[in-house]
Amino acid sequence: MKIKKGIPLIDQHDKNYMYGGKFGGNFIPETLKKPIDDLTKLFVKLRKDKKFLKERDYHFKNYIGVPTPFIKLENLTEHLGGAQIYAKVVSEANGGAHKIYNATVHCLIAKRAGKKFIVGDTGAGYAGKMLSMAAKKFGLKCKIFMGAKDIKRQRPNVEAIKKNGAQIVPVTSGSQTLVDAVSECMRYWVSNNDKVHNCIGSTVGPNIFIKICAWSTAQISRELMIQVKEEFGKIPKKMKLLNCVGGGSSAMGFWNEFMDTDAEFIGIEAGGPKNSKLHAAPLTNGSKIGVLHGAAQYVVQNKEGQISPTESISAGLDYPGISPLHCFLKDAKRARYTSATDEEALHAFKIVSKLENISPSLEPSHAFAEAIKIAPKLSKEKILICNSCGDSQKDSDIIKKRLGAYKR
Ligand SMILES: Cc1ncc(COP(=O)(O)O)c(C=O)c1O
C-alpha cells in the first residue's frame, strides 16, 4: 500500500471509493444512493468553484478567525529537557475547537443545495456546538444527536448548543456515546434527506463526508506550513506532528499539507483507563477491519465481528472506528499510531496548563502525553508540534473530579 505524491489524499481512492483497496467505500442503504450522489456531484463542483472558495476563505478569516496561533512551549520544552515543543493553538478558533471548519463548510454547502435544515452528531459536544453556531449564523434550523452519557459529561458544550437555538436529541441506545449518536443521526437523515442536510462531525461515514470534512480541516496545515517556514526558514528535518485521533478529522487537517514532505505523523488514540482492557484505540491494538457507518475501517470488535464497548475519559476520542484515511496512512506506513491512557492524558493536561498559557481539552491532552513521553529522549534540535485542537472548558467537571481542581 502506497501513498501517491502530488494527489490529495482524499482523492486516492478507486472507483468504489476504497483507499488502498481495503478502506472506505460507500456501504449504504439504497435510499441514500441518490442523496449521496447528489452531494458528491455538488461537492465536486464547489471544490473548483472560485466564488465558493472565496466565500469559504472569507468566513474562515472573518468568522473562524484564522490563522490560529503557532507558539513555542518554552517552559514545557525546558521542563522536559529534550526536543523543542511547539503547539498549533487551534482551540483559539471561534467556538474553541477545529470542528468549526467542517461545520462552516457544511452550512455553506447546505445553502447551495437549497436546504434550510441541518443535522449532525456530536461526542465531545464541539461538533454539535460548532454546527449549532454556524447554523445560527447562516440561518439554518439545526438538530444535534448526542449520546446520553456524553450529554452528562460535556455539560458546557450542551449548554452552548441549546443557547444557539438548536434542538438536542439525546441518544439512549447502545453505549450512549458518539458511535450511537452518528448511527441515530444517519437514521434520521435516511428518512428526511429530501429536506435535511447531514453534517457528519469527523472524517468518517460514506466517502463524501470523509472528503468534505478532511477538505475543510486542511485549513489547519495550510496555515501551519506558512508558520513553520516563517519560524524555521524551511521545514525542519523529520519534524514530528502529533495529533490525537478519534474519528481523525483534526489529524487529517493537521497533516494534509505535509503529506509529501519528510515530516513524521504520530496519531494518538484513546488508551482508556490504565487498569482496564477497555479502550478506543483500534489502530494501536490491532483491531480487525469491519464496516461502521457506511465505510470499511479498523474497528474495535469482538470475535463475532460485533462492535465492542469502548471507554475513554475524552468523549471526542471515545469511538470504536477510525477514518479510512488513517487506516490507509497506517498500512502505507506513512503515519505511526499509538495511544495514551486516561491517566496520562490527565497528567499531560495538568503539566501543560500549569507551565503554559494554553489549556488543552482531554482529547489533545492525549497528544501532549505522547510529547511528554518522547521529548526527553530526543535531541534539542528535534521539533515536535502538537495540535492543541480543543479548549478544556468543556471538561471542567471531569477535571475537577479527577484532579481535585480545574484551573485554566
Ligand atoms: C477537541 C477535540 N479534539 C479531537 C476530537 C476527536 O475527533 P477527530 O479525531 O475527528 O478530530 C474531538 C471530537 O469531538 C474534539 O472535540
Angle 354-245-395 from CA coordinates, rounded to 5°: 40
What was the pLDDT predicted at 283?
98
Ligand 1 lined by 249 (C-beta under 6 Å): yes
Ligand 1 lined by 100 (C-beta under 6 Å): no
Ligand 1 lined by 317 (C-beta under 6 Å): yes
What was the pLDDT predicted at 235?
98
Atom of ligand 1 nearest to the CA of 203: 10
Distance 233 CA to ligand 1 centre (A): 31
The count of C-alpha atoms lying within 13 angstroms of the C-alpha of 397, restricted to the half-sphere facing its C-beta, is 13
Which residue is closest in CA terms to ligand 1's atom 4? 363
What was the pLDDT predicted at 286?
97
Ligand 1 lined by 124 (C-beta under 6 Å): yes
Atom of ligand 1 nearest to the CA of 246: 9
Among 99, 213, 323, say which to mutate for ligand 1: greatest number of ligand atoms within 8 Å of CB: 99
Query: What does the block give as the cell for 91?
Result: 482551540
Q: Rounded distance, CA 248 to CA 267, Å?
A: 9
Torsion angle in degrees (nearest 10) through CA of 105, 392, 178, 115? -20
Ligand 1 lined by 97 (C-beta under 6 Å): yes
Ligand 1 lined by 36 (C-beta under 6 Å): no
Ligand 1 lined by 263 (C-beta under 6 Å): no
Q: Can you give the C-alpha Rg of the chain in angstroms?
A: 19
Ligand 1 lined by 205 (C-beta under 6 Å): no
Ligand 1 lined by 181 (C-beta under 6 Å): no
Task: With beta carbons less than 8 A apart as the criterion, state whether 251 and 265 touch.
Answer: yes
Chain centroid offset of residue 255 CA: 12
Closest CA to 32 of 179, 193, 144: 193
Handedness of CA 318, 320, 325, 327 (dihedral sign): positive
DSSP 192: H
Statement: the pTM of the whole predicted model exceeds 0.95: yes
Chain centroid offset of residue 68 CA: 16
Closest CA to 157 of 374, 350, 394: 394
Beta-carbon contacts of residue 281 (< 8 Å; ≥ 6 apart)? 269, 270, 271, 272, 300, 337, 339
Beta-carbon contacts of residue 304 (< 8 Å; ≥ 6 apart)? none
Which residue is closest in CA terms to ligand 1's atom 15? 316
Closest CA to 71 of 265, 250, 231: 231
Distance 303 CA to ligand 1 centre (A): 28
Chain centroid offset of residue 272 CA: 18
Place of cell 447546505: 110
Atom of ligand 1 nearest to the CA of 126: 16
Q: Rounded distance, CA 332 to CA 283, Å?
A: 13
Phi-psi region at 159: left, alpha or beta (left = phi > 0; alpha = psi -120 to 50): alpha
Beta-carbon contacts of residue 385 (< 8 Å; ≥ 6 apart)? 70, 85, 86, 87, 88, 224, 228, 239, 240, 241, 242
Name residue 145's beta-bridge partners.
Answer: 121, 169
Query: What does the block give as the cell for 104?
Result: 462552516
Which residue is closest in CA terms to ligand 1's atom 13? 316
Q: Rounded distance, CA 294 to CA 304, Å?
A: 19
Distance 332 CA to ligand 1 centre (A): 23
Ligand 1 lined by 272 (C-beta under 6 Å): no
- DSSP of 106-137, one letter per residue? HHHHHHHTT--EEEEEESSSHHHHHHHHHHHH
Ligand 1 lined by 10 (C-beta under 6 Å): no
Mean pLDDT per segment of 10 residues, for the chain of length 408 residues? 97 98 97 96 98 98 98 98 98 98 98 98 98 98 98 97 98 98 97 97 98 98 98 97 98 98 98 97 98 98 96 98 98 98 98 98 99 98 98 97 93
What was the pLDDT predicted at 408?
77
